[in-house]
Structure 1
Amino acid sequence: MSVEAFFGRLAGLALPDAPVVVDGGANKGRVAARFLAALPGCRVAAFEPQPILARKLAKRFADEPRLTVHAVALGETAAVLPLTVMSRPTLSSLFAPTGIHEKYADQELTETAVVDVPVVRLDAVLGRADVIKLDLQGYELPALRGAAGLLGGVSAVVAEAALYPLYDGQALLDELTAYLQGFGLMLDGVYDFHRDPAGRIASGDAVYLRP
């Protein structure tokens, strides 16, 4: 997930001296590292449900006291759910893969495993969040619903958003936008579009800011 445009907008926001940043779908920590560099006083809560990636993430940031790794998925309800692991791990999801095969029709993409992972509500884990980044392969809206208790105080959200369903049950861009507008977070732009081999825009990074 490329968030260059988002970091440009982030620089202009009036954030607290010690902002709380959520990195949902932290993977190996590339975006988390950007947050730590861009916001020296921040605390990053990194969520990564894939056990192997969570261990790598913890190892990478073992000496970084500003970052905490949570080896869980974000969702609307606390539960244990099956995660479909793909041959390209960054495409693994709590939803069954469907249109993702269209987005990457020019690549060999297979399901390699199904693992049960714990799911938590974000507002049950944190008491505050100032910035939220979500790259959850279709599970962004359930995660945002599980953050309802925090969204009134959030200054910025960046979420991967699809223009057509990539996973079974996935909410699309307009649904994410409608939900976040209810908390005063307005769509600022959609960046880093990804086109499928047929030329259709499949997804992009939607940035929401509090006016």
Structure 2
Amino acid sequence: MFLDNLLPDCMGILTAPSAILKRLCRKEMVSFGLLANLNVMKRRKTISGIDSIWDIGANQGQFAFMAHCVWPELPIYSFEPDPDSFVQLQQNFAKYAIPGQPHNVALGAEQASLELRRYANPVNNSFLTRTEHNETESYTKVIVDCTTLDTFSTTLPRTKAALLKLDVQGFELAVIKGSTNFFRHCRYVLAEVSFSSSYTNGAHADEVMLALREHGFECIQLLDLLRDKQTGHILEADMLFVNKRMDGHL
């Protein structure tokens, strides 16, 4: 991971000392690069005026924990379909007194039952098949319930200015398709996108950018980068999008 948007010459650590402390104390919950960026974006008001955080692809609650550290007063609604990861997610919500609710459901383009592939490292769990190059890790399968964000969000307190985090291992376009109404009340989207997909038919970064642009979102920040250690090529990135339509710019 790189901190290109903080300071040059690997000086990013100086901008967010609290992030390195959290990393040392809660290593299993914290990505220093992402937490540092969240702190900086709040301080610079790159992200401002939000009333809730929606965590799609929550895993065990790592992002929820980091978001809670930065915005402790905001409710966080986390969605995780894997039943095993969800147990840990629930425990972390209780352990760290995170306001909001975790939900054991997948979000996609429609209401359905889907087959989730579960890997030894749960961050790789996906509804898509790993590419041949990456299909070396054994997995199990489980059938999970899927609905749309448009449908599920009607059962929760109404948001007027949400921050949506999207980390769904190539399934981004399906989630976006089922979020048309929700996006009208969503101020920011923080999406992990792939430039070299590890999953067959997984969404490419440019497809995610185009789909979000059709809903009025414009990319304003490039956050953590994962690079190929040999070539230096970008494999994945966390990108921040802002809804220009909410601010009357489109």
Give distance in 2, aligned partners of 1:182 and 1:6: 25
Q: Structure 1 pair 196/101, CA: closer, same or farther in 2 (3 Å)?
A: farther
Residue number among 144, 154, 173 corresponding to 1:117 in the alignment = 144
Give distance in 2, aligned partners of 1:25 and 1:58: 14
Q: Which residue of 2 aligns with 1:163?
A: 195
Deviations 1:170-196 (A, max 9, x none): 111111111111222101132222123
Q: Which residue of 2 aligns with 1:106?
A: none
Residue number among 3, 10, 34 corresponding to 1:3 in the alignment = 34
State which structure, 1 or 2, has the greater radius of gyration over its C-alpha atoms.
2
What is the TM-score of this pair, normalised by structure 2?
A: 0.74
Matched, 1:39 2:71: yes
Runs of 4+, deviation exceeding 4 Å = none
Q: Which residue of 1 aligns with 2:130?
A: 97
Residue 7 of structure 1 and its aligned partner are, at CA, apart by 4.6
% identity of equivalent residues: 26
Query: Alpha carbon RMSD of aligned pairs, Å?
Result: 2.1
Q: Is the 8 A contact 1:6 1:158 kept in 2?
A: no
Matched, 1:71 2:104: yes
Q: Is the 8 A contact 1:152 1:184 kept in 2?
A: no
Deviations 1:15-66 (A, max 9, x none): 15xx121111111212101222222331111111111110111122236362
* Amino acid across the alignment from 1:164: S
What is the TM-score of this pair, normalised by structure 1?
A: 0.87
Residue 10 of structure 1 and its aligned partner are, at CA, apart by 4.3
* Amino acid across the alignment from 1:66: P
Aligned length: 203
Give distance in 1, aligned partners of 2:133 and 2:93: 31
> Which consecutive residues of structure 1, in runs of 5 or more, have no partner in the other structure?
103-108
Where 1:96 maps in the other structure, the secondary structure is coil
